Amino acid sequence: MSRLQNKTALITGGTSGIGLETARQFIAEGARVAVTGSSAAGIEAARKELGDKALVIQADAGNAEGQKAVAEAVKKAFGHLDILFVNAGIAEFGPLEQWSEAAFDKSIAVNVKGPFFLVQALLPILSNPASIVLNTSINAHVGMPNSSVYALTKGALLTLAKTLSGELIGRGIRVNAVSPGPIATPLHSKFGLSEADAKAMGAQIQSQIPAGRFGNSSEVAKAIVFLASDESTFTVGSELIIDGGMSTL
């Protein structure tokens, strides 16, 4: 298919999981794609996976000042930008009493501050029309224990999708959000749990999903392709929840 033919796209956190699958689907739909990642191993793997079909940029998603360099790299490569998928993020969980200020600040920086200043840095090169998609989470809705910081960062992004919609629609820029539920991605291996605890956590989460399983990255990426394409030109400030029914319970 060619729903994104001749469009340019930037995907943050595009070297694994939902971001990498979205890059694959964007490319298959005809887009020229740039992805960012933070780890050298992830960068190398993405370069091997995507080859010359994508520009791979090493960047720290939590470094507000560093977002200007990302915008400059995209401008140099493409000249303008039609699609931005803000996907980079971290998920750290723990009871309220165990959170340190440093850990709190890190989650805010990566999940909220960096994305905010990336959008700001990209404004001069965003096309009219353009589409921005923010990757939020059902954790902004469900009140899951031990997810307080993660949930508040995703709630902030969800609010940003709505407020920026009102602010930027006059410039032809649509802003929407996807809110995945439990998705089988490498993110879940970064919770710092033992194998046994991770298995127990997975089983407990799965029991709360009416669909009876975790989702996969492809199912989320398909929704992002829709929001990025001209098929969704009347979709503004919206949230697509992709969670197998978890948030309905």
Residues annotated as catalytic are: 150
pLDDT at 118: 98
Residues paired with residue 132 on neighbouring β-strands, in sequence order: 84, 175
Give the neighbor-by-neighbor strand order of the sheet with 32-37.
54-58, 32-37, 8-11, 81-86, 126-135, 173-180, 239-242
**Is the Cβ–Cβ distance between 18 and 217 less than 8 Å?**
yes
Distance CA 192, CA 131 (A): 35
Least Cα distance to 188 among 61, 35, 17 occurs for 17
- Write the DSSP symbol of residue 39: S
Q: Where are the domains of the chain?
A: 8-248
Distance CA 240, CA 191 (A): 25
Q: In a 3-state reduction of DSSP, which class is residue 126? A: strand
Q: What is the SS3 string spanning 7-20?
A: CEEEECCCCCHHHH
- HSE-up (13 A, CA, CB side) for residue 11: 29
Low-confidence stretches of the chain (pLDDT beneath 50): 187
Q: pLDDT tens for residues 138-170?
A: 999 998 899 999 999 999 999 999 999 999 999
Q: pLDDT tens for residues 116-142?
A: 999 999 999 999 999 999 999 999 999
| CATH fold of the domain at 8-248 | Rossmann fold (3.40.50)
> Which tokens sit at 212?
């009876």
pLDDT at 196: 77
